[in-house]
Amino acid sequence: MGIDNLKDTGSIKADEMVLNMGPQHPSTHGVLRLKIHTDGEIVSKIEPIIGYLHRCFEKHCENLSYEQIIPFVDRCDYLASMHMDHAYSMTVEKLLDIELPERVEYIRVIISELQRIASHLVAIGTFGLDVGAITPFTWTIRDRERVLDLFEALCGARLLYNYIWPGGVSHDLSPKFIQRTIEFLDYFDKQYDEYNELLTGNPIFVERTADVGVIPADVAVNQGVTGPSLRGSGVAYDLRKTEPYSIYEKFEFDVPVGEGKMGTVGDCWDRYSVRMLEMRESIKIIRQAMSSIPDGDVHSAMPKRIRPKKGSVYSRYESARGDVGFYIISDGKNIPLRVKMRSPAFCNLSALSEISEGWMISDVITILGSLDIVLGEIDR
Amino acid sequence: MDSVVGSLNKTLISLFSEISLDVSLLFLVAVIIPGIVIFLIMTVNAIVAVYMERKVSAFMQDRLGPMEVGIFGFKGGKKFWGGIGQTIADAIKLLVKEDIIPKDANKFLMVLAPFIIFIGAFVTFIGVPFSNGLVISDFNIGILYVIAMSSVGVIGIILAGWASNNKWSLYGAMRAAAQIISYEIPIGLSLLLIVIVVGSLEMSAIVNWQAENRWFIIHSPFALLGFLIYFISGVAETNRVPFDIPEAESELVAGWMTEYSGFRWALFFLSEYTNMLIVCIIASIVFLGGWLSPFQLFDIPGIEIPESFFVLDGFYMGMFWLLLKTVLLIFVMMWIRWTFPRLRVDQLMYLCWKVFIPFALANLVFVCIWELLF
């Protein structure tokens, strides 16, 4: 920008500035790089550049046995490791054709919904951070710690659990787990109202998020947006309801969708509020599962060796970020021939450039925050 | 004219009257001493306010805040004042930090910018009284001077943003320029309302008027509205949340300060907290009765107030009352900062030009009518 640089304008448009946001930037949620073409504060074009966290997940999988892949899966979506474990294990079980004990399914549902709460807490907190409110972040992180404490008691790990294995779970529920979880849920109900008071109805927050970054339902479907971001656009599409896996059909819960309460359907506020409401639904599911959890051995269905027959399988799972899919091809060895992962955050990110054109730099941050991406999963 | 420099000069002349010293030299000494005092006030204010900010934010966020660093072996332990030496340690760290100037930056302007901002905050104090008569110079244009000087800093901000040769800094500087200059207007208009009522720009005259009549915050609904407009605009003027758009850490990294570190950055920080102090002191003086005791408010006919309460209105207690009001306002600023999200640039401009300025202008007319009627 120095005067010397301006002399040779060449083909560069003088009124457009390319702003390089990331990979080191406080609000790109990891190592995402955004090339933003700006005209003043207005954004005319965005090019997301990914790959800074690429660790060859799919290639690694071709050299590892089925069990050894689970820790790698953990590291894809590190904010919802349990979901990734669950999604992967479900796929392998489908390949092996394993019937799971009831107790394992119940444990998995409880853990997954706790993980959904933990992940949404981070999403909401960082979204608040993106629009400039710092306090909600510390509050949500504080309450997420409680969930992590539960997980720590369960399997010893706080972030990358390696807990859900094909055919079972690594440990049975720890003693007092159910009691502690119920205590947490009672505590969380009160905190939930506090978040609403602090952020949801805050006039400045509404001003910043309502009507901003609207994803119309058809655009969302065309771009392959899934999860809370899709439901924020008013599409009631939740795999737990539409294609129930595990034992989700046993529980009663609603699928919250964006209604455009504060602005247009599909704006940032709707995506935020869908996440808030989903935590409520998760609490409902956990309470139901807690009250009817059967006894049993969690290791009984676990295969000694995983050596599936030749063939391929695809299964889908509703993670905190959307529709996670694993496609596994087996050639009869103990190592998969190919593992392909459908990353929800990757598809959600693809909508970013389309919806944030014409908005301001501040709004790009807001929209990015409302999509709730995790770079570990996008880059794999 | 009851000012510190004048009385200091007189004292010095009487002290050194036996020694034949040049009178102009004595006057220089009388100017330098308040300068040092102002600098100390700025530093102490920054150290205390930063500690307060960290503790207030910690309280609001369910944390402890700094708990480790003590001074002179006094650590505070697990008490709420733990970590009392934290800001002093931070200041020392900033002063001994490596000084970095980017290769492509404009060196001269980049070095100059922090000093302009600092001087803007520094010279404002010449017109800011701390108690009855405790003012370096009580101009007859006191308020005008303070408003004018407190906006000198924006030049430094633009220089810093341009000289850093960084796109984030440039964005921050452009935003800061637009914001600070815009919010000067509602500040000026809401202070003008007081000037109309009092009929003087002098700080002491404004407080004396309030002593004889009422504090401005309860003078009329319009003056109350004026106070709110002044205070909110003051928050915007000091670049604090929800108006911290020039810094906007989640958007612009650190705004116009992105490329600064160490001592220069410390100067920015110092000036920022000084501006906060100035805004709050002016608000206390103009709207909250300055150094007057709040017990004066309860002067309801029929209720006898013990004589001893009025002793509290003296010179030293005046300092105490003014500081108390100022600290309360600073606390409100911190409270706002740790509660609200940030506005967007256009929303900020909308708030200023389409809400505050029309209201402040209407306010001005109504307060004149009010004065004519009552």
Write the pLDDT tens digit of every residue in A156-168: 888 888 888 888 8
Would you list the domain boundaries of chain B? 105-373
Q: What is the pLDDT of residue B60?
A: 87
Angle at which helices A102-130 and A177-195 pack, to 10 degrees? Answer: 30
At which residue do the structure tokens 């021939």 appear?
A337
Cβ contacts of A204 on chain B, cutoff 8 Å: 242, 340-343
**Min Cα–Cα distance to chain A from B258, Å:** 12
Q: Out of A20, A132, A198, whose CB is closest to B250? A: A132
Cβ contacts of B349 on chain A, cutoff 8 Å: none
User: Which of A134, A209, A356, A367 should be substituted to probe chain B, the one whose Cβ sees the most B Cβ atoms within 10 Å?
Assistant: A134
Give the largest Cα separation in chain B, rounded. 73
Nearest CA to A234 among A259, A254, A212? A259
pLDDT category of residue B339 using cuts at 50, 70 and 90:
confident
pLDDT digits (tens, 9 = 90+) for B73-111: 666 566 666 777 888 888 888 888 888 888 888 888 888
Report how far residue A302's alpha carbon sits from residue B43's, in angstroms, rounded to the nearest whole number. Answer: 67
| Structure tokens belonging to residue A169 | 């779970």
pLDDT category of residue B20 using cuts at 50, 70 and 90:
low
Q: What is the pLDDT of residue B244?
A: 81
**Min Cα–Cα distance to chain B from A362, Å:** 6
Q: What is the pLDDT of residue B79?
A: 63
Are B55 and B26 in contact by the 8 Å Cβ rule? The answer is: no
CB atoms A41 and B345 under 8 Å: yes
Q: Please state, as a whole number, how many other Cβ atoms lie within 10 Å of the Cβ of residue B316.
A: 11
Q: Out of A41, A131, A138, whose CB is closest to B341? A: A131
Are B367 and B196 in contact by the 8 Å Cβ rule? The answer is: yes
A contact residues 330-369, partner B, Cβ 8 Å cutoff: 360-363, 365
Assign residue A268 the CATH number of its domain: 1.10.645.10
Query: Does a structural domain hold residue A183?
Result: yes
| Structure tokens belonging to residue A188 | 């969380």
Cβ contacts of A205 on chain B, cutoff 8 Å: 341
CB atoms B341 and A139 under 8 Å: no
Give the largest Cα separation in chain A, rounded. 77
Whether the per-residue pLDDT at B34 is higher than 70: the answer is: yes
Query: Does a structural domain hold residue A3?
Result: no
pLDDT category of residue B322 using cuts at 50, 70 and 90:
confident
A contact residues 109-128, partner B, Cβ 8 Å cutoff: 128
CB atoms A134 and B345 under 8 Å: no
Nearest CA to A351 among A252, A236, A227? A227
User: Which of A25, A29, A135, A140 should be substituted to probe chain B, the one whose Cβ sees the most B Cβ atoms within 10 Å?
Assistant: A135
Structural domain count of chain A: 1
Are A342 and A317 in contact by the 8 Å Cβ rule? The answer is: no
Whether the per-residue pLDDT at A3 is higher than 70: the answer is: no
CB atoms A208 and B165 under 8 Å: no
CB atoms A202 and B244 under 8 Å: no
Cβ contacts of A126 on chain B, cutoff 8 Å: none
Q: What is the DSSP letter of A220?
A: H
Are A253 and A109 in contact by the 8 Å Cβ rule? The answer is: no
Report how far residue B313's alpha carbon sits from residue B331's, in angstroms, rounded to the nearest whole number. Answer: 24
Provide, rounded to the nearest whole percent, the portion of chain B with pLDDT above 90: 2
Please give the single-letter amino acid code of residue B190. Answer: S
Mean pLDDT of chain B: 81
Which is more confident, A205 or B31?
A205
| Structure tokens belonging to residue B223 | 């003056």
- Show the beta-strand stretches assigned E in chain A: 17-21, 33-39, 42-49, 164-165, 168-169, 311-318, 323-330, 338-342
B347 sits in which H/E element = helix B345-350
Q: What is the mean pLDDT of residues B28-57?
A: 85
Q: Does A141 touch chain B (CB under 8 A)?
A: no
Q: What is the pLDDT of residue B296?
A: 64
Q: What is the pLDDT of residue A11?
A: 57
Q: Out of A2, A19, A133, whose CB is closest to B340? A: A133
Q: Please state, as a whole number, how many other Cβ atoms lie within 10 Å of the Cβ of residue B18.
A: 6
Q: Out of B170, B241, B347, whose CB is closest to A207? A: B347
At which residue do the structure tokens 């992590």 appear?
A148
Q: Does A134 touch chain B (CB under 8 A)?
A: yes
Q: What is the pLDDT of residue B1?
A: 42
Q: What is the pLDDT of residue A120?
A: 92
Are A324 and A343 in contact by the 8 Å Cβ rule? The answer is: yes
Per DSSP, the three-state class of A15 is: coil
CB atoms B248 and A27 under 8 Å: no
Report how far residue A119's alpha carbon sits from residue B219's, in angstroms, rounded to the nearest whole number. Answer: 52
Q: What is the mean pLDDT of residues A43-62?
A: 87
Q: Out of A20, A26, A132, whose CB is closest to B341? A: A132
Query: Beta strands A33-39 and A338-342: pairing type?
Result: unpaired
Q: Please state, as a whole number, how many other Cβ atoms lie within 10 Å of the Cβ of residue A221.
A: 15
Q: What is the pLDDT of residue A327?
A: 92
Instruction: Quote the domain boundaries for residue A138.
Output: 65-352
Cβ contacts of A133 on chain B, cutoff 8 Å: 339-342
pLDDT category of residue A6 using cuts at 50, 70 and 90:
very low
Are B99 and B259 in contact by the 8 Å Cβ rule? The answer is: no
Chain B residue set in contact with A, beta carbons under 8 Å: 57, 60-63, 104, 106, 165, 167, 170-171, 241-242, 244-245, 248-253, 338-347
Are B210 and B285 in contact by the 8 Å Cβ rule? The answer is: no
Q: What is the mean pLDDT of residues B35-54?
A: 87
pLDDT digits (tens, 9 = 90+) for A81-137: 889 889 999 999 888 888 888 888 898 899 999 999 999 999 999 998 888 888 889
Q: What is the pLDDT of residue B75?
A: 63
Q: Does A138 touch chain B (CB under 8 A)?
A: yes
Q: Out of A26, A27, A135, whose CB is closest to B61? A: A135
A contact residues 2-41, partner B, Cβ 8 Å cutoff: 2, 17, 19-20, 25-27, 41
**Min Cα–Cα distance to chain A from B361, Å:** 25
* Interface confidence: ipTM more than 0.85: no
For B339, list phi and psi in degrees, rounded to 5.
Answer: -115, -40
Query: Does a structural domain hold residue A221?
Result: yes
Tell me which chain B residue has its CA closest to the CA of residue A2: B165
Task: Please count the residues of chain B.
Answer: 374
Please give the single-letter amino acid code of residue B310. Answer: F
Q: Out of B63, B245, B250, whose CB is closest to A27? A: B250
Handedness of CA B1, B5, B7, B9 (dihedral sign): negative
Lowest-confidence segment of A144-153, B1-10, B95-104, B243-252 by average pLDDT: B1-10
DSSP per residue, A254-317 = -------SSSSTTSHHHHHHHHHHHHHHHHHHHHHHHHTPPP--TTTT--SS--PPSEEEEEEE
Q: What is the pLDDT of residue A9?
A: 52
Are B159 and B119 in contact by the 8 Å Cβ rule? The answer is: no
Q: What is the pLDDT of residue B23?
A: 67
Tell me which chain B residue has its CA closest to the CA of residue A28: B250
Query: Beta strands A164-165 and A42-49: pairing type?
Result: unpaired
Whether the per-residue pLDDT at A280 is higher than 60: the answer is: yes
Q: What is the pLDDT of residue B4?
A: 64
pLDDT digits (tens, 9 = 90+) for B159-188: 888 888 888 888 888 888 888 888 888 988
Cβ contacts of B62 on chain A, cutoff 8 Å: 138-139, 142
Q: What is the DSSP letter of B138?
A: -
Tell me which chain A residue has its CA closest to the CA of residue B338: A135
For B134, list phi and psi in degrees, rounded to 5.
Answer: -90, 75
Tell me which chain B residue has its CA closest to the CA of residue A206: B341
Whether the per-residue pLDDT at A7 is higher than 60: the answer is: no
Are A279 and A116 in contact by the 8 Å Cβ rule? The answer is: yes
User: Which of B259, B340, B354 should be substituted to probe chain A, the one whose Cβ sees the most A Cβ atoms within 10 Å?
Assistant: B340
Whether the per-residue pLDDT at B360 is higher than 80: the answer is: yes
Provide, rounded to the nearest whole percent, the portion of chain A with pLDDT above 90: 7
Q: Does A208 touch chain B (CB under 8 A)?
A: yes
Mean pLDDT of chain A: 86
